[in-house]
Amino acid sequence: MFGKGLLKGLSITIKRLYGPNLTEYYPEVKPILPTRTRSSMVLEPEKCISCGLCINACPNQVIILTSEKDEKNKKVLQTYHMNMGRCLLCGLCTEACPTKALKLCQVYENAVYHRQELLWDMIARSKQANISSGKVE
The structural domains of the chain, with segments of one domain joined by +, span 32-130
Q: What is the pLDDT of residue 27?
A: 84
The C-alpha torsion from 69 through 127 and 104 to 48, rounded to 10°, is 10
3-state secondary structure (DSSP) of residue 34: coil
Q: What is the pLDDT of residue 86?
A: 96
Cα torsion angle, 51, 53, 55, 56, sign: positive
Residue at 38: amino acid letter: R
Q: Flag residues of the chain having pLDDT under 70.
A: 1-2, 129-137
Residues of the chain above pLDDT 90, percent: 58
Residue at 32: amino acid letter: I
Q: How far apart are CA 23 and CA 4, in angstroms?
A: 29
Q: What is the pLDDT of residue 137?
A: 45
Tell me if 94 sits within 8 A of 102, measured CB to CB. yes
Question: Considering the domain 32-130 in this protein, what is its CATH number?
Answer: 3.30.70.3270
Q: Given 3-state DSSP classes, what are the helix, strand and coil percentages for the chain, each rounded to the nearest 5?
A: 30, 25, 50
pTM over 0.85: no
Select from 80, 46, 42 the least CA-distant residue to 64: 80
- Residue 9, H or E segment: helix 2-18
